[in-house]
Amino acid sequence: MRWEELDREPCSLARSLSIVGDRWTLLVLRECFLRVRRFEEFEQRLGIARHVLADRLKKLTDAGVLTKVPYQERPRREEYRLTEKGLDLYPVMLSLLDWGDKWMSGAEGPPVIRRHKACGQVVHAVHTCSECGEPLDARSMTVELGPGAKGAELPSETAEGSSAK
């Protein structure tokens, strides 16, 4: 599997990673969710090399995750904003955030907390089944080939004592 062909893999994870699966992209998107929009501000807050930032913003824009919105003419200046496709990455951010809070925080606790506007509580996300509403975890799901599977195969099920079963 080559990196440049990831987006054509018959796997939604691979396809997602063809967009967000590199060192910087999710950090750029973190800033977007924190309402950062301008080149300079991304650069200053992230300490990213300018041409890498330019490349990521271009790729995210080409992918439809960000969109350039002019905020002045003469000289023309544009800022980057999340599209609906980009906003939809929020669950990805949240999952990584919650995992980091749980497994990568020191004794002091997490560095940033999130509060739910609706209930006012400090919260984390619970993944629930879209059909029955029960919480989901790795052991409660099975996978099957779907309609878009062309020649893909799942590994054989012969293994036993699975930790991921």
Q: Which stretch binds DNA (CB under 7 A): 54-62, 108-116, 128-136, 143-151?
A: 54-62
Q: Which does 45 bind (CB under 5 to 8 A by kind): a second copy, DNA, none?
A: a second copy
Tokens of 1: 């599997």
Alpha-carbon gap, residue 21 to 63, rounded angstroms: 13
What separation, in Å, do the N-terminal and C-terminal C-alpha atoms of the chain show?
Answer: 25
Q: Which does 50 bind (CB under 5 to 8 A by kind): DNA, a second copy, none?
A: DNA
Residues 60-99 that bind a second copy (CB under 8 A): 64, 81-83, 85, 87-99
Q: Is the separation of the CB atoms in 164 and 142 below 8 Å?
A: no
Q: Binding to a second copy by residue 101, rule CB under 8 A?
A: yes
Burial class (CB in 10 A: 0-12, 13-18, 19+), 56: buried
Judged by beta carbon, residue 74 or residue 140, the one nearer a second copy is 140
Alpha-carbon gap, residue 28 to 63, rounded angstroms: 14
Positions touching DNA (CB under 7 A) are: 2-4, 22-24, 38-41, 47-52, 54-55, 57-58, 74-79
